[in-house]
Amino acid sequence: MSNVSTPVQHDGEFVLTRDGNKDFGEISPEIAQRIRRQAGKIRLRIGKQEGGRKNYGEKHIERKDRMQELKSNGYQNARDLVQAVSHNYDAIYEGRGSRLILYKKVDKKGLSLFIELTLSGDDDFYDVKTGMVTRETYYKNKKPLWERPQNG
């Protein structure tokens, strides 16, 4: 997390990381095997926010109410939130349908990314549908599919 605002760049429909990469992180082959899912890179698309149920991506994360919450927690935009979580998540939970939730604990809060595998020929990837700051107790009664080992 950085307070220096680097302009957000795009490559077609994809948001790029601060380093100009399309891949924010990944579900590694080792983790994928443990959770019985496909391995894949994590990517953020520009997406859409039109008030309906099929909203996703950067535009959905950056809607007005969510942006205020992100900024009050030190994130300038969707890219920085996605980069913070997808590089170093602490746990993976099962989401609705085929979605997965990447979780990172920060202070007394958590950061959550809701991702879904997108089949794209030879280049399948996990598409970030949305992301948010969550209460520390949000996952209290949920069992993770995977947790980062305590020793690192």
- Write down the domain spans for the chain: 10-147
Contact between 23 and 41 under an 8 Å Cβ cutoff? The reply is: yes
- pLDDT band for position 2 (50/70/90)? very low
Q: Give 72-104 pLDDT, tens digit per residue.
A: 999 999 999 999 999 899 999 999 999 999 999
* Confidence check: pLDDT of 3 > 90: no
pLDDT of amino acid 146: 97
Say if residue 4's pLDDT is above 70: no
pLDDT of residue 116: 97
Q: Cα(60)–Cα(51) distance, rounded to whole angstroms?
A: 9
Which of these, 124, 99, 125, lies nearest to 113 by C-alpha position? 99
Q: How much of the chain, in percent, has pLDDT values that exceed 90?
A: 76
Asked if residue 141 has pLDDT above 90, the reply is no
> What pLDDT, in 10s, does the model give residues 39-55?
999 999 999 998 777 89
For CA atoms 132, 89, 31, 17, the dihedral sign is: positive
User: Is the pLDDT at 24 greater than 60, yes or no?
Assistant: yes
